[in-house]
Structure 1
Amino acid sequence: MNTLEAIQTRRNIKAFKPEAVDKERIIGWLEAASFAPNHRMTEPWEIRFVGPETRALLNHKTDFGGAPAVIVITSKGGASEPEREENLMAAACFAQNFLLAAHAEGAGAFWSSLAASPRSRDILGIPEGHDVVGIFGVGIPAEIPPLKDRTPIALKIAAELA
């Protein structure tokens, strides 16, 4: 699968097959994700693997679609607000790279914002000053949602500057 195909066919997976995905495979996708752009090579992302007890405490409404693995991606804060924002943007690029790497190998993920709530942050032990990028159910899709229409990019071009 080429890059454009991976970008255009990746979906947020809502239901997973019960078969486990090898942790080393997930780590390989995380390694690939680490090539995300990041200002001054801060590599601000941190990953937490969520075990069954912690997952039960989170009590997600769909249990992450039954995904066999759950991870959290956070971003370290910065010494200033612009640095914090740069770190968060880099960590979001890291997350997208992870999603594309998993998708390119036949897996998928469910991206949720659940981990950003104060209750979830406490359960997950997310340090003060870290931003939550997302919590991800990871596994082999049981079904792949259909493509949702996108606004033509021409309608998103605000200006052509001289």
Structure 2
Amino acid sequence: MNTIEAIKSRRNIKEFKKEPLDLNKVKEWLEAASYAPNHRMTEPWKIKIVGPQTRAALRHKTDFGGAPVVLLLTSKGSDIEIERTENALAVACFAQNFMLAARSEGAGVFWSSLAGSPQSRAILGVPEEDDVIGIFGVGYPASLPPAKERIPVARKIEEMP
């Protein structure tokens, strides 16, 4: 699958097959994701593989669609506002790279904001100074939802003199 096809066919997956997912493959996608742009090579991403006890404690309404792997992705905090923003944006790029790497090999990802709540942060052991980017279910999609209609990007472009 080429890059544009991976981008256009990537979806937020709500239900996964029971098929196991090789953790080494997930780590390979995480390694690829680490090539995301990041200001001054800070590499501000932090990744936790969420085990079954922690996952159960989170009590997600669909248990992440039955995904075989759940990951927490956080961003290194900072007292300097622009640095904190740059870090979070870099980790969002990391997340996109990860999702595209997974998609290119037939897997899918469910991105949830659940981990940002105070209760979830406590369960997951997220330091107060760090930002939660998301918690991700990863596996092989039970089905691939259709694409939602997009506003043509030409309507979003402004040419400046």
TM tier relative to shorter chain: over 0.9
Shift of 1:2: 0.9
After superposition, the C-alpha distances for 1:109-150 in whole angstroms (9 at most, x for unaligned) are 100000000000000000111111100000011111011100
Where structure 1 has 5 or more consecutive residues not aligned to the other structure, the ranges are none
What is the TM-score with the length of structure 2 in the denominator?
0.98
Shift of 1:78: 2.2
**Aligned letter for 1:31?**
E
After superposition, the C-alpha distances for 1:35-56 in whole angstroms (9 at most, x for unaligned) are 0000000000000000011001
Shift of 1:79: 4.1
The corresponding residue for 1:121 is 121
After superposition, the C-alpha distances for 1:11-54 in whole angstroms (9 at most, x for unaligned) are 11111011110111100000000000000000000000000110
Distance 1:98 1:78 in 2: 24
The corresponding residue for 1:161 is 160
Alignment of 1:9-48 (within 5 A): 9-48=9-48
The corresponding residue for 1:150 is 150
**Aligned letter for 2:54?**
T
**Aligned letter for 2:29?**
W
Distance 2:95 2:137 in 1: 12
Distance 2:88 2:78 in 1: 9
Alignment of 1:17-96 (within 5 A): 17-96=17-96
Distance 2:40 2:15 in 1: 38
Distance 1:140 1:2 in 2: 19
**Aligned letter for 2:159?**
E
Distance 1:156 1:125 in 2: 40
Give every structure 1 segment of 4 or more consecutive aligned residues whose post-TM-superposition deviation is greater than 2 Å.
Answer: none
Where structure 2 has 5 or more consecutive residues not aligned to the other structure, the ranges are none
The corresponding residue for 2:112 is 112
After superposition, the C-alpha distances for 1:45-94 in whole angstroms (9 at most, x for unaligned) are 00000001100100001110010110010000124100000000000000
- For the residue of structure 1 that corresponds to 2:43, the secondary structure is coil
**Aligned letter for 1:160?**
E
Distance 1:151 1:114 in 2: 28
- For the residue of structure 2 that corresponds to 1:47, the secondary structure is strand
Distance 1:21 1:72 in 2: 17
Distance 1:88 1:127 in 2: 15
How many residue pairs end up in the alignment?
161
